[in-house]
Amino acid sequence: MTACPLPGEAAPEDDAPLPSALIAVRPERLGAARAGDEEFVAEEVPVALEYNGLSHAVMLATPLDLEDFALGFSLTEGLLASPADLLDVEVRSRPNGVALQLRVTARCEALLKERRRSMAGRTGCGLCGTDNLDQVFRPPQRPVPPLPEGLRDAGALVPALSRAMRELAQAQPLQQRTGGIHAAAWCGVEGEVALVREDVGRHNALDKLIGAMARAGIDASQGFAAVTSRASFEMVQKAALAGMPMLAAVSAPTHLAIRTAQACGLRLAGFVRDGRATLYA
């Protein structure tokens, strides 16, 4: 498998094959582990998002399901009003990463020119380059829908959440190979996992999921999202903007995430594990 080159390494030609999501390595093992055994690690590469030729953001992401990422990121960042605003996307390999070249409507291009700013994302990025406080809070344009009827009863909620996390753990091929990947899943009212996306970044995984749902025409109001991470403010905001009624996280939320969920009307569950959960909003 070929990795995207690091600074100082020889770079592939423009539009060379995309880097793999998994890279084989032979690390030096200490202690009782056998030396020289091959293992796989997750790749992360700079991914540039370009809208009608305008460079807008550079994120670090796993080079997989990048079309989903392009659409999901654009929707949750408020760069597109609907999936129909994305006319086309091309994934191009570059010497130092990957370029996502999005062709969007003239309306969105005008908005992008107004909002254009340089952004540099990190694996655990927070506000991804937002340059003033007024840009931080972006309430959903539509009210967050209520929980589907099958999830409104507290007695049904814990079994559904538990099933979602159990099935999500079994539906992460990259995580099973590397131990270093986050995932986000779309789950039905009984907790059945219908769609999963993985990435080194928890926000990226959720963006990929939202993009995949939009491309498939999935109604975001008829289930909930489950994530293998803590619940940050940005993840709550992305879920609310996508029209999801609930976000369930295996770990803790932040206080800002709780306040944001309460303000949006999003149900927020944390510490979903071992047949238990904590509702924060």
Question: Active-site positions?
Answer: 125
Distance CA 182, CA 124 (A): 11
Which residues, 6 or more positions from 81, have their beta carbon under 8 angstroms from its beta carbon? 107, 108, 141
| 93: β partners | 98
Tokens representing residue 98 in the block: 């990957």
CA dihedral 78, 83, 85, 88 (to 10 degrees): 120
CA angle 247, 251, 256 (to 5 degrees): 65
Which residues, 6 or more positions from 148, have their beta carbon under 8 angstroms from its beta carbon? 189, 221, 222, 223, 245
252: region left, alpha or beta (phi > 0 left; psi from -120 to 50 alpha):
beta
Distance CA 210, CA 223 (A): 13
| 110: β partners | none
| 249: β partners | 227
Distance CA 247, CA 273 (A): 14
Rounded to 10°, the helix 202-216/233-241 angle is 10
Integer CA distances (angstroms), 140 to 143, 145, 210, 238, 245, in order: 7, 11, 15, 9, 12
Q: Look at the alpha carbons of 97, 100, 101, 105 in this order and tell me if their dihedral is positive or negative.
A: negative
